[in-house]
Amino acid sequence: MVELGELEARHADFDTRNARIVAVALEDPATVARTQDKFPHLKLAADKDGKLIDVAQVRHARAAPDGGDAAAPTTVLIDRAGVVRWIFRPERYLTRLSPDELLAAVDQHLAPATASAR
């Protein structure tokens, strides 16, 4: 939630780059909808069954505090044509990119007029 709040606070910086933040959560749609209300400038998606994290190969079995599966924090920059331009997968589970680091990656890896970040 802290990371989402930091990204929400910087939404104007992403908007000027024509970049969108999409976050995927291993939660049900109702829970994700409640979270979405808190972060109106971000797009949140529910992946309760973990199909997306399996395709992205970022599932960490039994890594969640409750013993369930968790998604490794992964940032993917995708251009408007659907081409993956950059992936950040930290070695440590709690490592996250700051908004400044993500903006720098957008500037480096995506053309300003065609950016889409997730």
Question: Residue 34 is encoded by which pair of tokens?
Answer: 């409640």
Secondary element (H or E) of residue 60: strand 59-60
Structure tokens at 18: 């024509």
Residue 56: its pLDDT value, please?
Answer: 87
Distance of CA 37 to the CA centre of its chain: 17
Assign residue 44 the CATH number of its domain: 3.40.30.10
Q: How many domains does the chain have?
A: 1
**CA–CA dist 74, 118 (Å, integer):** 9
Q: Over the Cα atoms of the chain, what is R_g?
A: 14
Q: CA-CA distance, 67 to 77, in Å (whole number)?
A: 30
Residue 52: which residues within 8 A CB-CB, separation 6 or more?
24, 45
What CA dihedral angle connects 11, 37, 29 and 5, to 10 degrees? 40
> What does pTM read for this prediction?
0.81
Instruction: Report pLDDT for 85.
Output: 93
Per-residue pLDDT at 101: 95
Domain range for 109 is: 2-114
- DSSP letter at 33 equals H
Q: What is the pLDDT of residue 112?
A: 57
pLDDT per residue of the chain (118 residues) written in tens, 0 to 9:
889 999 999 999 999 999 999 999 889 999 999 999 999 999 999 999 999 989 988 888 888 889 888 888 889 999 989 999 999 988 776 788 999 999 999 999 996 544 444 5
CA distance 101 to 54: 26
pLDDT of the residue at 22:
93
